[in-house]
Structure 1
């Protein structure tokens, strides 16, 4: 219980001070005149003034409130390295014991995990939220238990009490990390693109570490190649992408003994490969209605460079027509099929038959071109079944179908085979049509010796056969009536989509691979897709960033397409594999922000701690004592940190008792005045 005197004047304070000045003047005048009752006059004036200010005794009954110390514990991923969890546990136990020993003081603990996505450690955000729930008058101090690597210092709240930081980690901690300084999102196939890497050491690096290290580079999960590179220096890495679509490039460095973590020893870069121009050579034989279809299809795409020649007349034919009138330019056979054949991405023979223009040596060049990675499409007409067929040439070594010399002339509707339902070139084509496809009226009978028959004609005879030869690809269309669909005959059909997919499959577009394992990420969720021509259940093994593995069963959502979704428990690099294929995908960055700086340091926290006169102390040097200090004094020293007692309280009862009623003071003033008059009168 406490008490103090309060005043509740009956008149405004300025008037009170005016009357007080007047009373002092009158009392002084009486003293100057030598009046014997001057002191009685002064006391009477004081009594009148006391009555006017109305003094009272205020008595409070107070319930003391405890001081509050806030402890913010960093439990982010970097705090789980080495022995930091044990250090954190010991520090919490010590702080709890010391605060409990302080009089009228309580401890509030706030735990902070990883921020959402890749935000890092949001320690100051958590501190601000905790302080918002603590009355300012009760806050005695705050302690941050962390490695010092925070990523929201700009959100540090204003502090009315000391702020301290206790740092985990050891004096000899060191770590090596791989950083991708620069990487483009797109690159042109066949052209060199440069990535910038940096492998740097942090902390107390052992003297035994040399100036170089080995970095391994792997593309799309393939075999890794090793290179010796210098440390702590930017390195330019030239790369040439060899296929369109997403190229996943993985860099990694070996884990050295004593490193804090290997989570930042890898980096993944995803670059989309795009073709500058698709170079196509179209060689047409006997003119027919479908020739214009091929030309219109290829010319409609601005990214296609088309070279088109139509062979109308063999060189040994003598009909008296001047050579200058046969064509505007000569057919540069040697230039196309010897000198520049490797510059083409696709060669199309449209109803072409041997007429002596292309010698066997040139056709051998085409065969070798396919085996080295090129693509050839045969659009067969009656010429393919004749004695001058391209099959009766060196190209027979790579063609998937042998002609029987029979040409079937009857109406039929092209059909997708069972295998074609699973192949990405023809998958879902029937579902895109509004009704039944229009009929074709010619089929060149072939015997499929190799490859995959994805479309069929009458009697389930092969109509479209796809095959891989060496590193290249070959397609055989055993009919020259695809143009009927483009004209809308009997409702037409998906001619444009079929030919587009066919061309892209031959260009090795990843989205049209028959056997593929891929994944796409959105936040922490990845969508996994496995394509296969074979039947049966499928599963994929997932290796998480922490090295743990688990198996995920895939569901067949369409013929040849198996899918599943997976929620990644943490950001980082995930490896997907089954018995045949392997790929990698990064949820967020492969090396999260939490692992960019792993060495404990108080420098990031200094701007928030120093203005409060708090301290930053490493735990490895010993856990500090907690003392009480007065407000505004230095709150940290060697081996100790300070908190400021607040003495906050809650008023339970309040009583006000007048010290003297006004009538009593007025009566006293009258008595004193009368006493002064009598004393002066007797004299």
Structure 2
């Protein structure tokens, strides 16, 4: 209720009952009921099909408090309502969304979503809030996106292409295939077909291996009527290790001298074996120290007696 009279009050997609500032509570758990819009919304999709999704929502652990919502505001979309509570405007809206200029607003009228982890850990809780974050972060200009990794690819290194294909409302773009045309610096053309990764958010992925260094022109098209999306990938020259360069025996000899070792050439394999066999294995030695006659013990005893004498004398006991 504190947001009603704040600058954010105009963004609320619902009208709240100011005569009930603490909301409504009950010892008996209540549940959500998806609206027709909520049954088909990706925001509330917790199962693969609509019927299974409705069963999941009805079976989620219930909530025991909900906000005093009177009705949804004009232009808002109600995704879920209270399964029982209602008023003169209909059943109480609990999950409501609306657009606010360039942004979006999500209202959830309960605080019991954390209970969804009971028995299934993060299966539904993580999926729901993950979809909320993606829905919130989505902007119209993000309806097409092509990303690649690694960010600085090299020759003969596998480059993974990831594409997001969404419509103006942020829903997945249904396309038979997503084709990517890769033009090498030499002009050679390679067509890469991106396969659908996740049906939920229009994600496609594929890969190719560049054989040349330079700038690769990448053009993505989804469907015959889609507008091409282009980007540039710079492939770096591979750093090939030099082979056939002779070793520097003087440097190796200096290293062997410093480490108290020996340097052998390829023709001195037998001498190296004999040197290894000649290395004696150090035997363990036991050294006994008589503590009762050790000078350190005498110093410690004298120090403690001196400290005892000094403390007593300072205290006036001597």
The reply to whether TM is greater than 0.5 is no
Q: Which protein shows a greater Rg? A: 1
After TM superposition, the score normalised by the length of structure 2 is 0.41
After TM superposition, the score normalised by the length of structure 1 is 0.22
